[in-house]
Amino acid sequence: MLFMVRMDVAVPHDVDQAALDALKAAEKTQAQALQRAGTWRHLWRIAGRYANVSIFDVADAGQLHEILLGLPLFPFMSIEVTALCRHPSAIDD
């Protein structure tokens, strides 16, 4: 199943910078691993925001839920999930 996921990140100003840098590095590593596996198919930054829009290809909503919960920055995220299906006029998958 394909899901479009918007993730907005709001880190409190009093978070330790070294801890935040470690979380960001872990987030990058995990996101890249999921992309290489084909699970996180697309990742776009939203210009001017600490946010992204992504496309995930997973077995079901439960798998997506577990992936999102496991993201290092999850505690600081506001997430919106939209299920997608193929449009009959689309020429590519």
79 pLDDT tier (thresholds 50, 70, 90)? very high
Contacts for 84-92: CB closer than 8 Å, 24+ residues apart: 84/1, 84/2, 84/3, 84/4, 84/55, 85/2
Listed residue (81, 74, 8, 3) closest to 39, CA to CA = 3
Average of per-residue pLDDT values in the chain: 97
Is 3.30.390.30 the CATH classification of the domain at 2-84? no
Domain ranges across the chain: 2-84
Say if residues 24 and 32 touch (Cβ distance below 8 Å).
no
- How much of the chain exceeds pLDDT 70, in percent? 99
Q: What is the pLDDT of residues 22-54, one digit of tens each?
A: 999 999 999 999 999 999 999 999 999 999 999
